[in-house]
Structure 1
């Protein structure tokens, strides 16, 4: 009866943990699961010592403000973990918290695994070696990641992406439009200016200006703005009120991002995981992003950024499938022109969707089952 300890730090990690627990339960019906998680992991049978929300801290100021509490939580958690005598510890994403726990438990003889690689393909590849000092094995969502770890002597396995398992290869646009109350023949643009307040602050205004320009060129355009959370919705609402749009006015929604993307003819969005979701929804996208000028100068000067592509579909394809407009290139004029290209070229959209389907199939690997297989291998290894 293996004892399996897990720690997930936000909703996405809670979902990954839930799928992994259910897949492991099929292999080990009598296994015990405990650790840090949310409702999904609890529903899957995990005894949670702390809720995942306790680790969900974003931004430097927030992290510094919560640092004493987080350090105390980590110290207490790892001591309780060692006393519980797990057969393996699986840190799910949340690298700032989990890698330290993994390293400490590994030094005390516990097998460790990290599920979801940090973006070593984009930022500071040498982190791969340090991650290997913490984790006996890394489970990767993307196929380009294990070769990077291999260069540093780290055991890493590609298991696929659970989102690719969850989304159908052919999304039902008509059903999404019906659910949102949109005519099947309307032209629809989904606008997603980020899931964090900092992103919304840097991108929402220029995204709305771009959407207005598209609406002026495409009379009757329906613009959908699914806010990631209540704080983002509150930040977007006054900007939307202040932006003059032709009729019909854009709709600001609470959540429903996936529905909006599937319903859309094109998507204007911030760089991040949402670009993967738009790819799996088979929708043409335009990707914009801005970080603070000071941060950008530091990143460029120190050579921390190791990729010329940012959007996940482009990284996965090794090609520029989606326009990327970063920093000073992220203007309303450039964004709207790129969106209008997709709305006026059905042939280009059809070719893009074929490429997106290939990428979807490459990621659709039954990730939870493959991750459970990798955990079972580690448990059975001599050692």
Structure 2
């Protein structure tokens, strides 16, 4: 087998979920390209496979339309610097790990210069901004998708595509061990546990924290035995979260705030209050009842709601094509409405049993060897 020392693959992930996706893909590639250079922008999951991050990943992490504006010049500067570097270097391939607002523009310029581009994962054009397919056609040499229904969408548009399965379906066991998770967190096996996940981005914390913890305070009025577990993505997020709780006068709500350990926190829960996004799919794969909520800047919300194609925002409901779990968005996501919806999730035993079966079926539908499938597609793109 020819040496892989001369192979260079550039990758950009702009947030923790993309870092996890790319980390698994790089793990699959490393088996075939043990000496290849992986570099660009990424986080700890990618670095485990020898990835060199040339900028801190958190410099890219921002959510929402108007939230980007104050950061535009900085983000554009990073994009241009990386583009110039890659155009000079000519890597064998560029992989954009999600983060389409940044990556698709970069991919278009690299592909025009003859550098093959892979995008992982497919932007949610089936949910909103379907017009983005025109940009994808120009930008992407090969698309890797994580939901089975996406393959036909890209095939119809003439974009080479591979369904690789969802990596989370491999990481999370079909039958999670709730008792072990509770022991790990020091919780009694018969405790009544609510896991609270207001988001990993600073903007999500800013808009979701007060309503989420306000809901916890109201739930305690119904059941004083409830234990609240709150996993935080990092020290910066933890500090911001605790400051927001204190400013809202909610510091009397007893919270077990964790550094990371989100999967343990979900596994230990009776029900989860979760911000919309990948975390809601994680909750479904752990077979837990949930309430999905989301709040963003008002101007962003008014634009985005008119661009949506689906009646749902939560991935579990989108995959099920029905409202399996409640969704409360923007002004509807008050402390009271969240508390009422969570109480039903905690107390409706037949509903809980139904969700376990539906989420188990969903789990199997997403289960493939994503690292192996994704790596095979990338290797084909670079002719290795």
Distance 2:44 2:331 in 1: 41
Q: Which of 86, 92, 106 is the aligned partner of 1:87?
A: 92
* 1:111-157 deviation digits (Å, cap 9, x = unpaired): 11111122212221110221121011111122232333234322222
Q: Does the CA contact (< 8 Å) of 2:62 and 2:201 recur in 1?
A: no
> Aligned residue for 1:13?
18
Aligned-partner SS, 2:130: coil
CA separation of 1:176/1:151 partners in 2, compared to 1, >3 Å: closer, same or farther? same
Question: Aligned partners of 1:96 and 1:273: how far apart in 2?
Answer: 17
User: Can you give the 5+ residue segments of structure 2 that lack an aligned partner in the other structure?
Assistant: none
Q: Tell me which residue corresponds to 1:329.
A: 332
Q: Which residue pairs with 1:307 in the alignment?
A: 310
- For residues 55-66 of structure 1, the aligned pairs below 5 Å read 55-58=60-63, 63-66=68-71
Q: TM-score, normalised by structure 1?
A: 0.88
Query: Take 2:168 and 2:28, find their aligned partners in 1: how far apart are those partners?
Result: 16
Alignment correspondent of 1:262: 267
| 2:347 match | 344
CA offset digits 1:345-382 (Å, max 9, x no partner)? 2222111011111111122211111111111222339x
Structure 1 residue 51: deviation in Å?
Answer: 4.4
Going from structure 1 to structure 2, the CA distance change for 1:346 and 1:41 (only over 3 Å counts) comes to same
Q: In 2 relative to 1, CA 378–349 (structure 1 residues): closer, same or farther, beyond 3 Å?
A: same
CA separation in 2, counterparts of 1:309 and 1:292? 19
Provide the C-alpha distance between the structure 2 equivalents of 1:53 and 1:209, rounded to a whole number of angstroms.
28
SS of residue paired to 1:380: coil
Q: Is the 8 A contact 2:30 2:49 kept in 1?
A: no
Deviation (angstroms), 1:60: 6.1
TM-score, normalising length: structure 2:
0.88
Greater displacement, 221-230 / 271-280: 221-230
Gaps of 5+ in 1: none
**Superposed CA offset, 1:187-212 (max 9, x none):** 11112222233333332222223222
Q: Which has the higher contact order (CA 8 A, sep 6+)?
A: 2
Residue number in structure 2 paired with 1:159: 164
Q: Where do 1:190-209 residues align within 5 Å?
A: 190-209=195-214
CA distance in structure 1 between the aligned counterparts of 2:341 and 2:62, rounded to whole angstroms: 34
Q: How does 1:244-259 map to 2 (within 5 A)?
A: 249-259=254-264
Aligned mates of 2:328, 2:300 — CA distance in 1:
17
Q: 1:175 aligns with which of 172, 180, 196?
A: 180
Alpha-carbon offset, residue 83 of structure 1: 3.1
Other-structure match for 1:371: 374
Number of residue equivalences: 377
Q: Is residue 287 of structure 2 the alignment partner of residue 287 of structure 1?
A: no
> Structure 1 CA distance, aligned partners of 2:295 and 2:67?
20
Counterpart of 2:316 in 1: which secondary structure? Answer: helix
**RMSD (CA atoms):** 2.6
Q: Distance between the aligned counterparts of 2:232 and 2:51, measured in 1?
A: 31
Q: Deviations over 1:263-298 (max 9, x none)?
A: 110111211111011111111001122233333333
Q: State yes or no: 1:133 paired with 2:145.
A: no
User: Counterpart of 2:250?
Assistant: 243
